[in-house]
Chains A and B, each alone.
Chain A
Amino acid sequence: MFIRSSAAIAAAVLLSSPVLPQGARAADKLTDPQIAHIAYTAGVIDINAAKQAMKKAKNKDVKAFAEDMVRDHEAVNKQALALVKKLNVTPEDNDTSKALSKQASEKLAELDKLSGAAFDKAYVANEVAYHKTVNGALETQLIPSASNAELKNLLQTGLKIFQGHEQHAEHVAAELK
């Protein structure tokens, strides 16, 4: 299944540093500016996917879900921007962010070719997989690696809201069947 394997790739990308040997891991640990960049990028990706869905989706629950995604992810990202400004941190681009963006633009192009019910289904299925991946990364990597308490706190709020999105997406996916 394509969706499944694309989630697995993203998970592998996000989780690549924890599997490194102990010695390399310390040097490889994500810094706060990198974590902020990854979290922000992950939000932008979901906003772009939702904006595409708001144009293309036919089902009203799918449309409403996409609107929820834009509203929440924009709120989190606004908060993230305010925080990095306050902390005087410049988000730093990194391999994880780059891999996420590349994969997301491929997905956007793939979904763009679909329409009607096929689009709705594929979009929601990808939302389930995507939130699962991001939540896994937040839980196992980004939150434990964050040094600044306020950043950690924001990531935890993000995790909580994204877990809700994952359930919401699963619910919409089940309704579409």
Chain B
Amino acid sequence: MPGRLASTALAVVFLTMVVPADAATIEITMENLVISPAEISAKVGDTIQWVNKDVFAHTATARNGDFDVTLPPNKSAASVLKKAGTVEYYCRYHPNMKAMLKVEP
């Protein structure tokens, strides 16, 4: 079927455009008021999948202002890393929750 072929071809084009070949998705979980892993390395272009398993709202807030993601209870969110560097981040609501993200170029 030509229609199907066309949409498949389109999908392939889109996928190659959006996701660079070596980009990875890294999961960072917030559970029981702890961020894990507490320290992780990633590369520019990778996606961080933030997963909040708590009944509390959390945030992932970079101290240098690079990102500020709000995570409602039991929700997740994704963000794509755009800049290299070592970023310390924490939860604005629960400042005891701290972790580190190393973004390599």
Residue positions of A touching B, CB distance < 8 A? 68, 71-72, 75-76, 78-79, 157, 160-161, 164, 167-168, 171
Contact = CB atoms under 8 A, between A and B. Distances in A.
A161 to B, nearest CB: 6
Interface residues of B, number: 10
Q: What secondary structure prevails in chain B residues at the interface with A? A: loop
Which 7 pairs between the two chains have the least Cβ-Cβ distance? A75-B55, A164-B96, A75-B56, A68-B93, A164-B94, A79-B55, A160-B33
A21 B96 CA distance: 40
Contacts of B73: 75
Interface of B: 32-33, 55-57, 73, 93-96
A160 B93 contact: no
A160 B54 CA distance: 12
Nearest to A76: B55
Contacts of B55: 75-76, 78-79
- Chain A CB within 10 Å — which of B32, B57, B73, B94 has the most? B94
Contacts of A68: 93-94
